[in-house]
Structure 1
Amino acid sequence: MADGSQAIFSALDNAKTQLYHFKAIVIAGMGFFTDAYDLFCITAVTKLIGRLYYYDPSDHKSGQPPKPGHLPTNVNNAITGVALCGTLAGQLFFGWLGDKLGRKKVYGITLITMVGCALASGVSFGSSAQSVIASLCFFRFWLGFGIGGDYPLSAVIMSEYANQKTRGGFIAAVFAMQGIGILVAGLVAMIVSKAFLAAYDVDPFEKNHVLSTQPQGDLVWRIVLMFGAVPAVLTYYWRMKMPETARYTALVEGDHKKAAADMAKVLEKDIPMEESISTRPLDPSSSYGLLSREFARRHGLHLLGTSTTWFLLDVAFYGLQLTQKDIYPATGLLPRPSKMNAIEEVFQLSKAMFLVALFATVPGYWFTVFLVDKIGRLIIQLGGFLMMSIFMAIIGLKYTQLRGDDCKDSNSRYQYCDGHTKLFAIFYGLTFFFANFGPNSTTFIVPAEIFPARLRSTCHGISAAAGKAGAILSAFVLQSYTQKTGGIKKAIIALSIVNLTGFFFSFLVPETKGRSLEEISGEDKNLGGGGGTGAIADEKPRNSSVEVLPEVEMV
């Protein structure tokens, strides 16, 4: 590796943890906070939208109180799934663009897109249910498009800023903000719904509730969706102030002096540079393309591993997240819908979301943050997939017994059942815990580490898009299946098998703990001293020589 690059990367890899690391975590993490909030807050309000826009007005005309509405399956799937489709497209597009234009230039575009579309989702307009839903889906698609760009860019920026010793924990900390976003989504929905119940003195258990809560309920779901723009706005200035990553500037643009100057600002120390290497573009003969045989030989199996494991994980993870509104009543965490008005149902559903996030989802993320650089990515991923499979198998096979078929008191406000609902809730929570202290975190970390700098954002975007394909499968297929008799039980058993499949595909993904990005991707050999097929394929100790390698023939 040339002396200039060697000095820059050595300074980055060996830098002590300092303020700029935590600042980068917050700036990149707030994007993920926004992503999670926007994607999962919809779960708290979809039933409310169904009650408000899909009740039968003929009941009211006939003098009968209208019954609560219910979203048709295809409409429910569209509302929850369209943002995931946008996310998939955004991951591919912005991942590619991040390698072409640079991480920083694209980073601001994604944030502006998220802010605008979060606000627009809340003002979805129309004079009929169909037009309101159509405009909501339109804006949520583009919201997802912006969210998709945040996946590869946040992960790659953090990996390229981080030091070698704690890189996994820093990337995991950025992703852990997803858990905080889910937590806050439940909290905001709770606060807004309870505020409206108190302000308008609405009886939460009023039976004739559809028309009496429609004006207030219509404001509730709009405010909840629009709040997603707030954290993105707050971090825009600091995101624009972040310098381009030194690894991109040095390895892709070839400007070592600028890379050193940018890093000197954040590291608060000078990086010695030789005057003879001011600006040197990347030699095209030392690179290989994404579709080349050389890439397939070096990283083909790695890309297959990161993509398949993320796909399988998201089939299960989003399947659980998007069906919470159907599973919570079975666990005893949620009163029966027939006993609540529309706004009270939002409060109870969001409270259940908040509790599961607080005691299961968020702790799982932070266990990964603190342990990923100690025990490694692969062990955490394997253990997570295996434990998810076990707990989901138990829930699925014992679903009837855990849930209980009959309620002790059919007139009760809450659904006290003959089954072991507390045990059900514990198993359900443990599934989320091991998803996040497991593959939901590691599938985000590893693709930001194992690919060369010029393809790192693109390959992370491809891996993430594979995951969203799994989430879309859950949104459009699994949710429809759960509406059938016995569907939830069979779906959970199927998801258990999916997790077990992910366990075996994880062996395609290499361990990256304690190694520099250039060693992992093979760039230390390609640019600096010894040939070979890359550090993952060739597990020899890193060559510390700084002489320039012969050029590698382009495939």
Structure 2
Amino acid sequence: MAKEQLQVLHALDVAKTQWYHFTAIIITGMGFFTDAYDLFSISVVTKLLGRIYYPPLNKKPGVLPPGVSAAVTGVALVGTLCGQLFFGWLGDKLGRKKVYGVTLLLMIICSIASGLSFGHNAKGVMFTLCFFRFWLGFGIGGDYPLSATIMSEYANKKTRGSFIAAVFAMQGFGILTGGIVGLVVSAAFEDSNDPILTTPARADYVWRIILMFGAVPAAMTYYWRMKMPETARYTALIEKNAKQAAEDMAKVLHVEFDPEEAKIRKLAQEPSNQFGLFSKEFLHRHGLHLLGTTTCWFLLDISFYSQNLFQKNIFTAIHWLPSSSQMNAIHEVYKISRAQTLIALCGTVPGYWFTVFFIDRIGRFTIQLMGFAFMTVFMFTLAIPFNHWLNHNHTAFLVMYSLTFFFSNFGPNATTFVVPAEIFPAQLRSTCHGISAAAGKAGAIVGAFGFLYASEAKSKNDNPPPDAGYPTGMGMQDSLLVLAFVSLLGVVFTFLVPEPNGKSLEQLSGENDDDIAEEVPSDKLSPFNHTIPV
């Protein structure tokens, strides 16, 4: 027999799109804007760091040693993985709001500190930069499960996918802004008279300003993030405080609710609502779901972060970017920033917003399956005739390369973020999202260090080593083939993930009933004759 859903939760499920939905999207989404900016802006400045802190060699500009480059690029990913696990767990233990501000403060402080990295020599500066970027990543990691969970618990069931995807879509604007800030800062400091192999002292300001800018959007959002009330689902279902949940949502929805404290007590006594992450009950209900969300995110991020973090090396290989030995230090930052901006405008940002528009129309499963499938097709198309693209048709290569970004974002890069925030029970929702996201960052680390391994393997056979420190030629072709097979595996594991479209969170997780939750008649929404528009 279906159990009647709490009025306040049903009201959230059927509420029309209102101003508070857009407010929540902006507040949570600005965290993701900052996340993407901080994670991907490092790719704009890594070559500049090599020029500044390492001497020229054989008439070529200085470059970061492969190990140092991997550390500078990857340490934030390691921090993000740790933060996703820790804050995901903490969000279920202490509440979403109580720890939400901590993640933002970490991002603000560590963005500024990264730009102020100090040391007596190159090793000292790189060590300090890596230290602060680890903790920056730790704060970024916390934003993943908390933002997704808060948005899912605020949203109505009709457009919940679009709202969560819109939060994640801010990542595209963060990547785009990273390119734009790089363009503006490098243009402001560039002097065309600078010799190619001489790095001017003012170049040291360029990378510091670019990294520190990440604190600006985070600081702008902090006050409003602290003003958000705790989600009604956490307050009612986990804290068992029906009165507070009703009061909080009455302010948001402008509707009065019966606290239904008797119903809360009854729900608290249900044995089906008491299981933990390592229980047989969780394994039975959600074990395959968690395997599906973690595996798909892991596979997706191997491809997504590999391409994003090292796209500058791909541009160099196809001669879209000149070799470092043909540009001065600051002009190289300008060129890399321009390339990142164009790819973001043409492929990354549109892909995110296609997902926002279509996710509640065609469903998460269809979008994820389609995205992985097209990524597979385009990766193979790029990799198999790679020498043809490299030598004869750079334009076609760039178009298809952009399409891999488009279909990763109009596909699994968005859905892997959305689905874990919907299908798990309230007491484990943030934890399971954090685990899924951490699996993704493990994939990102595999992708990042996989490129390092490929470059080292290639450099043993090439003399001199690749100018960029990462694979070119056949090494890149092999990498694209590997990423194609990774995407193909994503198609397979997508079949483990359920379709949450159009269902309430309690129905999906089984918290309200073993089968289908009973709808509450609209005339019972409030004893004060208020109604929620549907």
Q: Specify if TM > 0.5.
A: yes
Is the contact between residue 125 and residue 135 of structure 1 (CA under 8 Å) also seen in structure 2?
Answer: yes
1:382 to 352, 369, 372: 369
Give the Cα separation in 1 of the matches to 2:193 and 2:81: 42
Greater relative contact order, per chain length (Cα 8 Å cut-off, separation 6+)? 2
What TM-score results when the alignment is normalised by the length of structure 1?
Answer: 0.88
1:223 to 209, 233, 238: 209
1:75 to 58, 65, 68: 68
1:94 to 79, 87, 105: 87
What's the offset of the Cα at 1:477? 2.2
2:239 to 231, 247, 253: 253
2:510 to 515, 522, 544: 522
Give the Cα separation in 2 of the matches to 1:280 and 1:125: 58
Give the Cα separation in 1 of the matches to 2:221 and 2:61: 40
Q: How does 1:447-466 map to 2 (within 5 A)?
A: 447-466=420-439
Q: How does 1:55-204 map to 2 (within 5 A)?
A: 55-56=55-56, 67-197=60-190, 201-203=191-193
Where does residue 476 of structure 2 map in the other structure?
Answer: 488
Whether 1:333 and 2:306 are equivalent positions in the alignment is no
Is the contact between residue 179 and residue 365 of structure 1 (CA under 8 Å) also seen in structure 2?
Answer: yes
Give the Cα separation in 2 of the matches to 1:370 and 1:360: 16
Is the contact between residue 77 and residue 137 of structure 2 (CA under 8 Å) also seen in structure 1?
Answer: yes
Helix, strand or coil for the counterpart of 1:395? helix
Where does residue 414 of structure 1 map in the other structure?
Answer: none
What's the offset of the Cα at 1:390? 0.6
Please give the per-residue CA displacement for 1:299-355, whole angstroms capped at 9, x wherever unaligned.
000000000000000001111111112101234432222210110000000100000
Matched residue type, 2:134 = F
Where does residue 24 of structure 1 map in the other structure?
Answer: 24
Matched residue type, 1:494 = V
What's the offset of the Cα at 1:216? 1.3
Instruction: Give the superposed CA RMSD.
Output: 1.8
What's the offset of the Cα at 1:203? 2.5
What's the offset of the Cα at 1:273? 3.8
Give the Cα separation in 2 of the matches to 1:391 and 1:453: 38
Helix, strand or coil for the counterpart of 2:512? helix
Where does residue 400 of structure 2 map in the other structure?
Answer: 427
Please give the per-residue CA displacement for 1:405-464, whole angstroms capped at 9, x wherever unaligned.
xxxxxxxxxxxxxx2000010010000000000000000000000000000000000000
Give the Cα separation in 1 of the matches to 2:130 and 2:491: 34
Give the Cα separation in 2 of the matches to 1:276 and 1:500: 50
Whether 1:236 and 2:209 are equivalent positions in the alignment is no
CA change 1:267–1:56 in 2 (3 A) is same
Helix, strand or coil for the counterpart of 2:278? coil
Whether 1:342 and 2:329 are equivalent positions in the alignment is yes
Matched residue type, 1:238 = W
1:512 to 484, 500, 504: 500
What TM-score results when the alignment is normalised by the length of structure 2?
Answer: 0.91
How many pairs does the alignment contain? 504
Where does residue 303 of structure 1 map in the other structure?
Answer: 290
Please give the per-residue CA displacement for 1:511-542, whole angstroms capped at 9, x wherever unaligned.
010100000110111xxxxxx4xx4xxxxx43
Is the contact between residue 252 and residue 281 of structure 1 (CA under 8 Å) also seen in structure 2?
Answer: no
Give the Cα separation in 2 of the matches to 1:21 and 1:86: 30
Between 1:274-283 and 1:111-120, the stretch displaced more is 274-283
CA change 1:243–1:281 in 2 (3 A) is farther
Give the Cα separation in 2 of the matches to 1:227 and 1:283: 50
What's the offset of the Cα at 1:275? 6.8
Give the Cα separation in 2 of the matches to 1:280 and 1:351: 59
Matched residue type, 1:440 = N
Give the Cα separation in 2 of the matches to 1:310 and 1:190: 31
Is the contact between residue 388 and residue 434 of structure 1 (CA under 8 Å) also seen in structure 2?
Answer: yes
Give the Cα separation in 2 of the matches to 1:393 and 1:218: 40
Helix, strand or coil for the counterpart of 1:506? helix
Is the contact between residue 41 and residue 182 of structure 1 (CA under 8 Å) also seen in structure 2?
Answer: yes
CA change 1:26–1:216 in 2 (3 A) is same
Is the contact between residue 81 and residue 438 of structure 2 (CA under 8 Å) also seen in structure 1?
Answer: yes
Matched residue type, 2:310 = T
Give the Cα separation in 2 of the matches to 1:478 and 1:50: 18
CA change 1:171–1:188 in 2 (3 A) is same
CA change 1:149–1:280 in 2 (3 A) is farther
CA change 1:278–1:46 in 2 (3 A) is same
Whether 1:289 and 2:276 are equivalent positions in the alignment is yes
Matched residue type, 1:222 = R
Where does residue 271 of structure 1 map in the other structure?
Answer: 257
CA change 1:144–1:69 in 2 (3 A) is same
Consecutive unaligned residues in structure 1, runs of 5 or more: 60-65, 405-418, 526-531, 536-540, 547-555
What's the offset of the Cα at 1:284? 7.3
1:499 to 465, 472, 487: 487
Give the Cα separation in 2 of the matches to 1:7 and 1:426: 50
Give the Cα separation in 1 of the matches to 2:393 and 2:56: 36
Is the contact between residue 380 and residue 481 of structure 2 (CA under 8 Å) also seen in structure 1?
Answer: yes
Give the Cα separation in 2 of the matches to 1:288 and 1:80: 39
CA change 1:284–1:124 in 2 (3 A) is farther
Matched residue type, 2:367 = I
Is the contact between residue 172 and residue 368 of structure 1 (CA under 8 Å) also seen in structure 2?
Answer: yes
Matched residue type, 2:423 = I
Give the Cα separation in 2 of the matches to 1:274 and 1:231: 40
Give the Cα separation in 2 of the matches to 1:491 and 1:136: 28
Where does residue 467 of structure 2 map in the other structure?
Answer: none
Give the Cα separation in 1 of the matches to 2:152 and 2:262: 29
Consecutive unaligned residues in structure 2, runs of 5 or more: 463-473, 522-534
Give the Cα separation in 2 of the matches to 1:131 and 1:281: 56
Helix, strand or coil for the counterpart of 1:170? helix
What's the offset of the Cα at 1:54? 1.1
Where does residue 478 of structure 1 map in the other structure?
Answer: 451
Where does residue 62 of structure 1 map in the other structure?
Answer: none
